[in-house]
């Protein structure tokens, strides 16, 4: 198959590459862009470790082809913090609430929660648990993660007030 030219904004930076048509977005980000914060777990869209934001929506990077992101804005975990390096409210809450242990699943949770809180700024615990259902963590038991989401929502609300 013939490679395809794509133009994508990744973490605010314009990128142009020629890619194989079947290259996944996750592999594009890791192998071509050198952004290894997007982790690959199951490569079937089940674990959520490869979650990135595509035009602000959380998607599984292993299920989206790089060519499908042509013309889009992609945000990885590396692009969630502010340009000056300050952690986002979601990142800070995960750190402060011990919402991570080994850290493998954390990038997927951070991007998923970032998108979720943009859509649902004042979620109930049930809504938080439902939103987290697409991400798998094998270490934490989820209590710290749920607390981190609540804390991040409160922090974002205070910043907006």
**Chain segment 73-87, per-residue pLDDT in tens:** 999 999 999 999 999
**Residue percentage of the chain with pLDDT more than 90:** 95
Look up residue 74 and give its two tokens: 């992609």
User: Measuring CA to CA, how many Å separate 23 from each of 34, 92, 112, 135?
Assistant: 15, 33, 22, 23
CB-hemisphere CA count at 13 Å for 113? 31
Start-to-end Cα distance in the chain = 53
8 Å CB contact between 111 and 78: no
Cα separation, 79 vs 85, whole angstroms: 10
**Packed helices 89-96 and 143-160: angle between N→C axes, nearest 10 degrees:** 140
What pTM, to 2 d.p., does this model score?
Answer: 0.95
| Tokens 């798998």, located at residue | 136
Closest C-alpha among 49, 72, 69 to residue 136: 49
Whole-angstrom CA distances from 100 to 22, 133, 157 are: 32, 16, 23
pLDDT of residue 3: 98
pLDDT tens string 85-96: 999 999 999 999
Q: What is the pLDDT of residues 117-148, one digit of tens each?
A: 999 999 999 999 999 999 999 998 899 999 99
What residues does 53 pair with on adjacent strands? Answer: 58, 75
Q: How sure is the predictor about 161, in pLDDT bands with cuts at 50, 70 and 90?
A: confident
Q: How many residues does the chain have?
A: 161
Q: Which whole number is the average pLDDT over 93-113?
A: 96
| Cβ(145)–Cβ(91) below 8 Å | no
Within 10 angstroms of residue 20's Cβ, the number of other Cβ atoms is 14
Mean pLDDT of the chain, nearest integer: 96
35-55 average pLDDT score: 97
**pLDDT beyond 80 at 1:** no
């Amino acid at each position: 198959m013939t490679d395809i030219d794509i133009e994508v904004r990744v973490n605010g930076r314009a990128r142009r590459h020629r890619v194989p048509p079947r290259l996944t977005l996750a592999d594009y980000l890791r192998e071509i862009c050198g952004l290894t914060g997007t982790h690959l777990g199951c490569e079937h869209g089940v674990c959520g470790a490869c979650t990135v934001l595509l035009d602000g929506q959380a998607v599984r990077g292993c299920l989206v082809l790089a060519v499908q992101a042509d013309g889009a804005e992609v945000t990885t975990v590396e692009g969630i913090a502010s340009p000056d390096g300050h952690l986002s409210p979601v990142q800070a809450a995960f750190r402060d609430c011990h919402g991570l242990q080994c850290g493998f699943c954390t990038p997927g949770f951070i991007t998923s929660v970032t998108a979720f809180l943009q859509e649902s700024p004042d979620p109930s615990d049930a809504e938080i648990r439902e939103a987290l259902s697409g991400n798998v963590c094998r270490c934490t038991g989820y209590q710290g993660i749920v607390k981190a989401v609540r804390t991040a929502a409160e922090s974002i609300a205070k910043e907006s007030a």
